Amino acid sequence: MKKVIAIYGKGGIGKSSTASNIAAAAALSGKKVLIIGCDPKSDSSITLLGGKRIPTVLDLLKEKQTIAKEDVIFEGFGGVLCMEVGGPEPGVGCAGRGIIVAIETLKKIYPEFMDNDLIIYDVPGDVVCGGFVAPIKKGFVNEVYVLTSGEYMPLYAANNICRGFVRIGMDLGGVICNSRNADRERELVEEFSTKIGSRLIGYIPKDPIVQSCERDGYSVLEKAPDSDIAKVYKQLAVELMNNKTRVKAVPLDDEQLRNLSKKYSE
């Protein structure tokens, strides 16, 4: 079965950098990969394209009625295909609605897009509003992950996102920890994952190489391919490609989450 995944998590936790580095790692291992940037910031593919921004589907649709595959799908590092949905004018329209319009457009201009081995939807923010889960509700995504650190707010967001998944009947593929160097972080996120009925499928250390590569406009896999962090992303890509587990998450209540967080800060 083709992997069509989305990674949810608190804003700023590292969804886009994780998505782009995994995309690059999977492509280097011979997979056909498509990344669909769903954040109005349209920054999902920038590090796969040497720091260049590509035209977004929604921006082009404002200019002309029909667009072609070559207008919005660009080949980046390792052959990863990149598309950016774009967003409505700030304060106007619904970003979630825009995602649906863009994906319907993608189906028309690139009908065989599901032939890719891995499709990653890089979704915005932590708000599991109706809009941001649109790709799931519409049946575009068949596997979801939550990305969190061991800090309280990202964990809170991750837990809340799981509530949203339960609400819409979406099973969870697993939890990924993107470290912020919190106390005993791996153990904490491992226990969180187990408590919600899932498992920690990857641990990404905090590494300044991620940001320096990003600043230069590249993924770690392209700019620092021999680094330890590149190996982490490669391993995570393998774990994701092989992962078959799906669970109905059992989110914690507020007190359980607070107690868990306290336990690891003592």
Name the residue nearer to ligand ADP (CB basis): 9 or 86: 9
Query: Does position 51 bind ligand SF4 by CB under 6 A?
Result: no
What's the rounded Cα separation, in Å, for the pair 3 and 121? 11
> Residue 22 in contact with residue 240, Cβ under 8 Å?
yes
Cross-strand bridge partners of residue 172: 144, 247
- Considering only residues 175-234, where is the footprint of ligand ADP by CB under 6 A? 178, 204, 206-207, 210-211, 214
Query: Does position 11 bind ligand SF4 by CB under 6 A?
Result: no
Name the residue nearer to ligand SF4 (CB basis): 37 or 174: 37
Query: Does position 8 bind ligand SF4 by CB under 6 A?
Result: no
10 flagged as catalytic: yes
Q: Which residue is nearest to Mg ion (CB)?
A: 16
What's the rounded Cα separation, in Å, for the pair 180 and 60? 38
From the list ligand ADP, ligand SF4, Mg ion, none, pick the one residue 59 interacts with, judged by a Cβ distance below 5 to 8 Å according to partner type.
none
From the list ligand ADP, ligand SF4, Mg ion, none, pick the one residue 130 interacts with, judged by a Cβ distance below 5 to 8 Å according to partner type.
ligand SF4
Task: Catalytic residue, from 3, 10, 31, 234: name it.
Answer: 10
What's the rounded Cα separation, in Å, for the pair 236 and 253? 29
Task: Catalytic residue, from 2, 32, 41, 195: name it.
Answer: 41
Residues in contact with Mg ion, shown as a per-residue x/- string from 38 to 77 under the rule CB under 5 A: -x--------------------------------------
- Considering only residues 149-168, where is the footprint of ligand ADP by CB under 6 A? none
Name the residue nearer to ligand SF4 (CB basis): 136 or 213: 136
Query: Does position 3 bind ligand ADP by CB under 6 A?
Result: no
Name the residue nearer to ligand ADP (CB basis): 194 or 211: 211
41 flagged as catalytic: yes
User: CB 261 → ligand SF4: shortest distance, Å?
Assistant: 27
Name the residue nearer to ligand ADP (CB basis): 14 or 40: 14
Q: How many angstroms separate the first and last alpha carbons of the chain? A: 44
Among 16, 56, 116, 193, contact with ligand ADP (rule: CB under 6 A): 16
126 flagged as catalytic: yes
Residue type, 125: G
- Interface residues with ligand ADP (CB under 6 A) are 9, 11-17, 178, 204, 206-207, 210-211, 214
Q: State the catalytic residues.
A: 10, 15, 41, 126
